[in-house]
Amino acid sequence: MTKIIPVIMSGGAGSRLWPLSRRAVPKQLLPLVTEKTMVQETALRFDGDMFADPVFICNRLHVEAIDAQMSEIDRKVGAFIVEPVGRNTAPCAVVAAVHGADADGALVMLVPADHHVTDVAAFQAAVARALPIAQDGYLVTFGIKPDGPETGYGYIAQGKALGDGAFKVDAFEEKPDLPTAKSYLADGGYAWNAGIFLFRPDDFLSEAHTYAPEIAKQAKAALKAASRDGNVIHLDADKFAACPSESIDYAIMEHTQKAAVVPCSIGWNDIGSYLSLQAALAEIDSDDDQNALAGAVMTVSSDNCLVQTDGMPVSIVGVSNVGVIVHEGEILVVGLDQAQDVKKVVNRLKEGGEKDRL
Amino acid sequence: MTKIIPVIMSGGAGSRLWPLSRRAVPKQLLPLVTEKTMVQETALRFDGDMFADPVFICNRLHVEAIDAQMSEIDRKVGAFIVEPVGRNTAPCAVVAAVHGADADGALVMLVPADHHVTDVAAFQAAVARALPIAQDGYLVTFGIKPDGPETGYGYIAQGKALGDGAFKVDAFEEKPDLPTAKSYLADGGYAWNAGIFLFRPDDFLSEAHTYAPEIAKQAKAALKAASRDGNVIHLDADKFAACPSESIDYAIMEHTQKAAVVPCSIGWNDIGSYLSLQAALAEIDSDDDQNALAGAVMTVSSDNCLVQTDGMPVSIVGVSNVGVIVHEGEILVVGLDQAQDVKKVVNRLKEGGEKDRL
């Protein structure tokens, strides 16, 4: 049976979720939505004979924590591939493909470590649908069927059918404005680009060499020159740093003629900001006013808020769509409609050299 | 020369300014607007030969702190009159008048301890204008000339002139709706009711006996049966508790034919909630976005906020008209337009028996 190697990209800093997400413990290592951490939830999504042990691509700082978290849920780790620096997803994908090519006949499934999926059965069914398409040589991306005219995601336009619930990709569309998002929704032939991929290593690498030769060359060299310590593979720092920092979409998927999409409804949320975290948590457990609360919190005349405190009690009065996070000595108050801007706090702390607050 | 005895009502709990204002240290004992506390600022407003040493009506818990704060600014205290329970302003006024009647020929000026006044010279000039009117037997109230159609205050309608910048009171008007407030502003003959009074003790007591006989009787008895300890007068608990709890306006001023008003512009703010505190502080010192900040605070895309922290750093992102108060182990986040509702937090803490948080 063909195995799928899940390669879980865990290199992100999650700075839009500061101060929960910190340098030492970024968001994917936290139990943000359930009682399990996001890497645990992600690994558990790959349950069953179809999947090999997961591989993690991550920062050196987090190897030990991920290893411990996998032990907690009784999961073996295939390998840790340590990124000496972050270089976006295209170099990751090349490294994953080269690493996967060593396992005879296996496919590689590339997934972010920090997405929330409520319907794991639907996810696995989508993977099963994608499998024959990937074996046929397509680079398959998973498209999330939109449940609203979302302007925060890129969209994938479906082309001609490739069998059961799979399509050629017609185009990758940038984040749309609202009228465009509405037209996509009405059309029905568009799905959100979730950044989840399934491919045969050889097919992917051949496309990478064609459309992103420098990335393909340097990433491959970084893996070849890697130092190994048990199941931990340290990519060569100079060679990996020499990779252009580009996303897999931008570098490869938007150019290849072999892109396919499998649309699916899996209860997906990218937990990209406090806005999406509030939405995910409110769906699971909220008060009558759609407030998602954790810790010692009192609310008065407030709705659609997210309040989490690890100690000091928080009282909120007369606020809507506001996040209040009290975590390890930091207090953040954020208007959820501008939740993207939390990143700016992190940037200013970096500029100010306030490392202990990151 | 006729002396004026300032009687400073310091009995309030300031629960709308929780968690800054606490049972042990309520708002009037805090340096909310300037580096001096509100009772210090209030006492310093009565500088000059015209005024006797101030008398404080307050809770037993606060005598020592007020005494210490007066020493800090080199002011002698005329007396402390200790309220065993709060009974609103009418019983206070009677006690103040009876106490003041002992000082031959002196007038009594009754003022709240927690108002902010930026133009002390204008305030003293208004007192000087009020003095002959009060000596003529009027109960003088000070009306603040409105600078906007404020709906949060009661209004005083001016009647016929009583000489230089003083008028008979035509009516006390309840807090108006916005159209009514606008019509008052356009009319020009209305002023905000600031709850500041000047009167001869005998005239006031005669009106009190006529319009609020039970209050007059019980409050007088409470003072007569008081125990004295140096300059601290402890009102008799049972007798004071027997006073109906009513405001001086409701019990006396709205009924007497002797009410006069002296309109004035003194830079007045009652610091009644975080909304008015934000306004007062932003006027003194704010950033380019009208944020009033104290302590370790970072702001991103935020305006018209009030943020104060006594320790843990606070970052605010994408919020407007929001107050964030971190004070002695409590965090409050309040939409300033609903700042009145902070009281509800205090009420719930009381109901929950959480005394240590009050």
ipTM confidence: 0.89
Number of domains, chain A: 2
Q: Write out the E strands in B113-239.
A: 116-117, 139-144, 155-161, 167-173, 190-199, 227-229, 232-234
Give the integer Cα–Cα distance in Å for B268 and B113: 13
pLDDT digits (tens, 9 = 90+) for A19-65: 999 998 999 999 999 999 999 999 999 998 999 999 999 999 999 99
The reply to whether B165 and B256 lie within a common domain is yes
How many CB atoms neighbour CB A183 within 10 A? 12
**pLDDT for position A316:** 98
Residue of A nearest to B307 (CA): A333
Contact call for residues B265 and B122 (beta carbons, < 8 A)? yes
The alpha carbon torsion through B206, B208, B212, B214 (nearest 10 deg) reads -80
Mean pLDDT, rounded, for A66-75: 97
* H, E, C per residue of A63-116: HHHHHHHHHHCCCCCCEEEEECCCCCHHHHHHHHHHHHHCCCCCEEEEEECCCE
How far, CA to CA in Å, does A14 sit from each of A115, B191, B206?
A: 12, 55, 72
Q: What is the CATH number for A155?
A: 3.90.550.10
| Res A104: pLDDT | 79
Q: Is A330's CB within 8 Å of B309's CB?
A: no
| Cα–Cα dist B95/B57, whole Å | 9
Tell me the average pLDDT across A301-317: 97
Q: How close B115 gets to chain A, by Cα (Å)? A: 24
Helices then strands, counting H and E runs in chain B, come out as 11, 19
Pairwise CB contact (< 8 Å): B320 & A335: yes
Looking at the partner chain, which of B312, B317, B341 has a beta carbon nearest the beta carbon of A317? B341
Q: Are residues B105 and B241 in the same domain?
A: yes
Region label for A137, one of left (φ > 0), alpha (ψ between -120 and 50) or beta (otherwise):
left
pLDDT band at residue A152 using 50, 70 and 90 as cut-offs: confident
CB-CB neighbors (< 8 A) of A318 in chain B: 334-335, 337-339, 341
Could you tell me if B175 and B313 lie in one domain?
Answer: no
Identify the band that residue A284 occupies on the pLDDT scale cut at 50, 70 and 90: confident
pLDDT along chain B (358 residues), means of 10: 91 92 94 95 94 96 96 97 95 96 90 95 96 96 94 94 93 94 95 96 97 97 96 96 94 96 95 94 90 96 97 98 97 97 96 94
**B175 and B290: one domain?**
no
DSSP 8-state secondary structure symbol assigned to residue A208: H
- Residue that finishes a domain, picked among A215, A247, A269: A269
CA dist., res. B307 & res. A206, Å (int): 56
- Strand-pair category, A268-269 with A232-234: unpaired
Q: What is the band of A344 on the pLDDT scale with cuts at 50, 70, 90?
A: very high
> Does B186 contact A at CB distance below 8 Å?
no
Chain A nearest-CA distance from B264, in A, is: 34
* B90 plus B212 within the same structural domain: yes
Q: Is the domain of A180 the same as that of A315?
A: no
| pLDDT value at residue A286 | 86
Within 8 A of B298 by CB-CB distance, chain A residues are 345, 348
Within this chain, do residues A53 and A200 fall inside the same structural domain, yes or no? yes
Is the confidence at residue A257, as pLDDT, over 70? Answer: yes
Q: What is the pLDDT of residue B285?
A: 85
A–B CB contacts, 8 A cutoff, strictly below:
118
Please report how many Cα atoms fall inside a 13 Å half-sphere around the Cα of residue B227, on the Cβ side.
6
Q: Is the pLDDT of residue A103 over 90?
A: no
Q: How many residues does chain B have?
A: 358
- Whether B96 and chain A come into contact, CB under 8 Å, resolves to no
Residue in B302, B314, B338 nearest the CB of A331: B314
Structure tokens at A259: 């892109």
Where a domain ends, among B213, B234, B269? B269
User: Which whole-number Å values give the CA distances from B170 to A129, A174, B163, B166, in the listed order?
Assistant: 83, 67, 16, 12
- Nearest residue to A298 (alpha-carbon basis) of B99, B64, B352, B271: B352
Model pLDDT, residue A102: 84
pLDDT at A1 over 70: no
Q: Which of B218, B235, B269 is the last residue of a domain?
A: B269
Chain B 308-337, residues with CB within 8 Å of chain A CB atoms: 309, 312-320, 322, 324, 326, 329-335, 337
Same domain, A80 and A205: yes
Low-confidence winner among A96-105, A139-148, A322-331, B181-190 (lowest mean pLDDT):
A96-105
Residues B85 and B171 occupy one common structural domain: yes
Pairing mode, strands A330-335 and A322-327: antiparallel
Question: With 80 as the cut, is the pLDDT of residue A2 above it?
Answer: no
The first and second tokens of residue B76, run together, are 């002698």
Could you tell me which residues are beta bridge partners of residue A325?
A308, A332
The minimal CB distance from A333 to the residues B19, B319, B337 is found for B319
Nearest to A314 by CA among B324, B14, B338: B324
More confident residue, A164 or B139: B139
What is the sign of the dihedral through the CA atoms of B281, B286, B290 and B292? negative
Question: Would you say residue A181 has pLDDT above 70?
Answer: yes
Residue A211 is encoded by which pair of tokens?
A: 């459309």
The set of residues, in sequence order, having a beta carbon less than 8 Å from that of B168 and lying 6+ positions away, is B158, B159, B160, B162, B259, B260, B261
Same domain? For B317 and B261 the reply is: no
What does the pLDDT read at residue B164?
85
Identify whether residues A77 and A105 lie together within a single domain: yes
Please state at what angle helix B201-211 crosses helix B89-101, rounded to 10 degrees: 140
pTM comes to 0.89
State whether residue B161 sits within 8 Å of chain A by CB: no
pLDDT at B17: 96
| Mean confidence (pLDDT) of chain A | 95
> Could you give phi then psi for residue A156, rounded to 5 degrees?
-115, 125
- The DSSP bridge partners found for residue B263 are B143
CB A29 within 8 A of CB A41: no
Whether pLDDT at A332 is above 70 = yes
Structure tokens at A91: 């170099």
A289 near B CB under 8 A: no
Same domain, residue pair B61 and B209? yes
Range of the domain at A203: 4-269
CA B239 to chain centre: 25
